[in-house]
Amino acid sequence: MTGQAVAEPGDWNGIMKARIAQPGQPGGVPKSTAQAGKELEIVQRQEEAARLRLRGKSVREIAQILGISSTQAQRDIMTIVAQSKEVAESCVIVERAMSLGRLDAMLESVMDLAVSGDSQAIASVLKMDERRAKLLGLDAPAKQEISAGDGLQVALAKVGDALARKRAREAG
């Protein structure tokens, strides 16, 4: 989001408030009462479309219930989904930062012991480093090799023999 409001996952009101620029806030654009009212109606319609979809209603049913076109109902749902994704991504970033902060605090508490040779402290530091690398995506994915084994070779040989016999019958 643009940083105007913070919303929790599933907090529709927080998501929607973040979408309507508020006068006097950083980045906010003063809006007329009519314009703000219209935006609020749209936001409320989008919220209702998303609620109906979560209850299992089809896009066509949502359009009929809300008195809008199916295309508009689909757009409303997609708008809410996009907003929800943004909130979820923001929450992941915050959680990652908090986890890294905890790791830093724990690392600081055992580092002197690890440097002095304490084997338990060394093991703890290594585990913390592994966790940090996972959180930051520093480890390259392990390469996986797929081995066919003898079974595949035998199956391929049988297929090859069958094709050769078929070609021989067709030729002769």
Cα dihedral 124, 126, 129, 131 in deg (nearest 10):
-70
Quick check: 151 pLDDT over 90? no
Quick check: 135 pLDDT over 60? yes
pTM of the model: 0.47
Going from N- to C-terminal start, the domains of the chain cover: 12-136
Number of neighbours of residue 12 by Cβ within 10 angstroms: 19
Quick check: 65 pLDDT over 70? yes
What does the angle CA 112 – CA 117 – CA 120 come to, to the nearest 5 degrees?
A: 85
Quick check: 19 pLDDT over 90? no
